[in-house]
Structure 1
Amino acid sequence: MLFMIESYMIRAGSRYLRRCFSKNVATKDSQEIILQPHDNFTSVRRKSLKIAILGAPNAGKSTLVNQLIKRSICPASSKVHTTQTKADAIYCENDTQLIFMDTPGMVSAKELKRYKLADTFRNDPKVSLATADIVGIVQDAQNMYTRDKINPNILALLTENIINKIPMILIFNKVDKLKKKEVLLQLVNIMIKNSKSLKFSDIFMVSALTGDGTDDLRTYLLDSAKPRDWQYEGHIYSNYKCEDIIQQTVRAKLMDILPNEVPYNLKIILEHFDTGADDNIMAVVTVSCPKKNIARLLIRRNINKLVGNRIKQVAVMAEQELRHAFRTPVRLRLIVQSPT
């Protein structure tokens, strides 16, 4: 507890110094400067930080990134391998830009071959590390079998050159699921005293699901930013297109609602995308099923659910997530297709 209080006081002091003694003095609100279309965004003295987020499958990396940027950009579900490719999620505050590089869950070469995973599972974490200013390693604090040790696939990726060059922070996620909070202090002691463990600049305890602890983590990263031009303009919050985010969100919701391996065999295709005069979004997405029984599983009415069948539930959940992502009304229609 004393460790946590001291850490909080240091960050609070850093926050105060950053606000009061910043050399980047502007004559008007810096957020207004960002949003002016005639401005050259690279001409203003600003700060940025690129953060590579690594972790085992289902550690909650994408959910954490969504909390940190305050938008549901990265696909997240309760199943493993929801994230299949690297994505940049961007958060801007005043003169600082944070670029979170969300990556697929770390897997071994054996797992890559066994489950026929895309090459992005092997390549994207390496690409992220090559450009990162800081590495955030996410640990599932709820998993009693793996929470006290770093995933061996991550250790294999972090060569000695990377370890000595890039600062690293440890992020214990899902702390809200722990009944005994003293477990967290035990985990911190294990990680600090273990000679085989990595050396971390700081340790955070968060719940990506509820948002607890994420404000402190975001402030720490804002304070760690380096003086340099921004990589993205201020209105950009992802390197993905809106169409890609819609498809991935639908896919993630299908993974939440369908059992076992079923959602991994579906093809999600965006058939129609349009924006209205008031920036509202209308989209039509086709869910292509390899077998008729899977299609029936989606369209069969669920008596115990007020929403109706599963595909309607997915549409409602996806719309809610997309409204939070785009901050505009979204109307989504899902069509189920099956073999004739």
Structure 2
Amino acid sequence: MLFTIEKYAIRVGSRYLRRYFSKNVDIAVNNTQEFVLQPEDSFTSIRREGQKSLKIALLGAPNVGKSTLVNQLIKRSVCPTSSKVHTTQAKTNAIYCEDDTQLIFMDTPGTVSENELKRYKLANSFKTDPKVSSHTADIIGIVQDTQNLYTRDKINQNILKLLTEDIRNKIPMILILNKVDKLKKKEILLHLVNVFSKGKYSLNFHDIFMISALTGDGVDDLRTYFLDSAKPGDWQYQNNVYSNLTCEDIIQQTVRAKLLDNLPNEVPYCLQVRLEHFDVGPNDNINAIISVTCPTKRIVNLLLNGKGKRLKNIAVVAEKELRYAFRTSVKLKISVQL
């Protein structure tokens, strides 16, 4: 984890975790024992002989499984996920390195219309981040939910508006049919392939993949495809950096995602989640305290129901996911206030 605050010298032996997550920093290696982190406006490319890179923008309607797929592709849960829509609110870069190749996956918020943006008072990032990602990508992957009866055989209109003629002509696109594990009739997949290959929604896809982001089925083949598609170029990140988010960001967003999963209806959307305390111990174990501010006493009681059992379960689930992200022990406490 790399910070964008004042200059820090971090010892490798006891703080390796701090090098795993980055936010617009330039890393100057003085010697084998010390890293000096200097804040910069943009990343400095890391030039290495014979290395390759690829930037992949993942686009899709809300809740099609983009974040779950990214976590499977990089083998770390750096993108918080939940069963509710709009869990991802801004673009996240997730990085995977293998041998001489670096893949940068741009996880984006679900595409929405102007009316939805205003109606639900969504952040402007819902509009700008998919657009920015699609313009800067080397490959665009459109993720389609095959389980959704009403939308699985057509590309979301908001995506079609986003993909201008200029983008379609310059950037190769692939179709990723997700949630295939939920389909009882597999012949539906053949129908979808036929629709997207020959129909008006084909978009001249270079390839079509059938996967389950939840179980990981087909994800290895997709990752291999991206590795094979990489082109000679400078790496944007060090090979031990896995996200452009800080550890603190990931902890906060993960807890928010678990609140979305465990609270009914619109309740979790009105909660304010804030990191109150963060500490990395001598063995790189993480201790964190999250505060959840509720707008009404009724919601406070809902969270503390059953002597706080619901809150404890949320903390346990979040700890498990964070251990998978950071590869170290995580102790998390969640406090609730009005």
For residue 333 of structure 1, what is the aligned residue in structure 2?
333
Deviation of the 1:229 alpha carbon: 1.0
For residue 132 of structure 2, what is the aligned residue in structure 1?
127
Partner SS for 1:129: helix
Q: Tell me which amino acid in the other structure corresponds to 2:334.
A: L
The partner residue of 2:181 within 176, 180, 193 is: 176
Question: What is the rounded CA distance, in whole Å, between the counterparts of 1:157 and 1:253 in structure 2?
Answer: 30
CA contact (8 A) 1:149 1:197 kept: no
Q: Tell me which amino acid in the other structure corresponds to 1:217.
A: L
Question: What is the rounded CA distance, in whole Å, between the counterparts of 1:44 and 1:265 in structure 2?
Answer: 50
1:109-148 → structure 2 map (5 Å cutoff): 109-148=114-153
For residue 67 of structure 1, what is the aligned residue in structure 2?
72
Deviation of the 1:195 alpha carbon: 3.1
Question: What is the rounded CA distance, in whole Å, between the counterparts of 1:183 and 1:38 in structure 2?
Answer: 57
Question: What is the rounded CA distance, in whole Å, between the counterparts of 2:225 and 2:87 in structure 1?
Answer: 28
Deviation of the 1:130 alpha carbon: 1.8
Deviation of the 1:45 alpha carbon: 2.5
For residue 223 of structure 2, what is the aligned residue in structure 1?
218
1:224-303 → structure 2 map (5 Å cutoff): 224-301=229-306
Q: Tell me which amino acid in the other structure corresponds to 1:270.
A: L
Deviation of the 1:121 alpha carbon: 0.3
Deviation of the 1:196 alpha carbon: 4.3
Partner SS for 1:310: helix
Question: What is the rounded CA distance, in whole Å, between the counterparts of 2:55 and 2:333 in structure 1?
Answer: 36
In the TM superposition, what whole-angstrom CA distance separates every residue of 1:96-138 from its partner, at most 9, and x where no partner exists? 0000000000000010000000000000011111210000000
For residue 208 of structure 1, what is the aligned residue in structure 2?
213
The partner residue of 1:190 within 195, 212, 231 is: 195
Q: Tell me which amino acid in the other structure corresponds to 1:323.
A: R
Q: Tell me which amino acid in the other structure corresponds to 1:159.
A: T
Q: Tell me which amino acid in the other structure corresponds to 2:306.
A: R
Question: What is the rounded CA distance, in whole Å, between the counterparts of 1:195 and 1:325 in structure 2?
Answer: 40
Q: Tell me which amino acid in the other structure corresponds to 2:228.
A: D
Question: What is the rounded CA distance, in whole Å, between the counterparts of 2:210 and 2:63 in structure 1?
Answer: 17
More strand by share: 2
Is 2:169 the partner of 1:164? yes
Question: What is the rounded CA distance, in whole Å, between the counterparts of 1:238 and 1:196 in structure 2?
Answer: 33
In the TM superposition, what whole-angstrom CA distance separates every residue of 1:162-217 from its partner, at most 9, and x where no partner exists? 00000000000000000111110111011111034311000000000000000000
CA contact (8 A) 2:78 2:94 kept: yes
CA RMSD, 1 decimal: 1.4
How many residues are treated as equivalent by the alignment? 298
TM-score by structure 1 length? 0.86
- Stretches of structure 1 lacking an aligned partner (at least 5 in a row): 1-35, 303-307
Identity of aligned residues (%): 69
Question: What is the rounded CA distance, in whole Å, between the counterparts of 1:179 and 1:43 in structure 2?
Answer: 47
More displaced stretch, 194-203 vs 125-134: 194-203
CA contact (8 A) 2:46 2:236 kept: no
For residue 57 of structure 1, what is the aligned residue in structure 2?
62
Question: What is the rounded CA distance, in whole Å, between the counterparts of 1:181 and 1:231 in structure 2?
Answer: 40
For residue 309 of structure 1, what is the aligned residue in structure 2?
309
Partner SS for 2:47: helix
CA contact (8 A) 2:260 2:268 kept: yes
For residue 18 of structure 1, what is the aligned residue in structure 2?
none
Question: What is the rounded CA distance, in whole Å, between the counterparts of 1:103 and 1:284 in structure 2?
Answer: 27
CA distance 1:263–1:233, change in 2 (3 Å): same
For residue 97 of structure 2, what is the aligned residue in structure 1?
92
CA contact (8 A) 2:288 2:332 kept: yes
CA contact (8 A) 1:45 1:229 kept: no
Deviation of the 1:44 alpha carbon: 3.1
More helix by share: 1
Is 2:321 the partner of 1:321? yes
- Stretches of structure 2 lacking an aligned partner (at least 5 in a row): 1-28, 33-44
Question: What is the rounded CA distance, in whole Å, between the counterparts of 2:93 and 2:315 in structure 1?
Answer: 25
